[in-house]
Amino acid sequence: MRISTFGLLVGVVLFVLPAPGTFIAGGLVLVAGALARWGGL
């Protein structure tokens, strides 16, 4: 599994968790995963 795919999956899981702070953290991880995918990782 590519690093970017792992980042996107973790971001989605964090994004949907109903705990305080995970919405923002999930969004940031999704952005990082998307940038990693765009950068070729």
Exposure on the CB side of residue 30, measured as CA atoms within 13 A: 12
| The pTM of the whole model exceeds 0.95 | no
Using CA of residue 17, residue 21, residue 33, residue 3, what is the dihedral sign?
negative
* pLDDT value of residue 21: 83
Rounded Cα distance between 38 and 32, Å, is 10
Look up residue 33 and give its two tokens: 């995963």
CA-CA-CA-CA torsion sign (15, 16, 22, 24): positive
User: What's the pLDDT score for residue 32?
Assistant: 92
| pLDDT tens profile 3-36 | 888 988 998 998 898 888 888 999 899 999 899 9
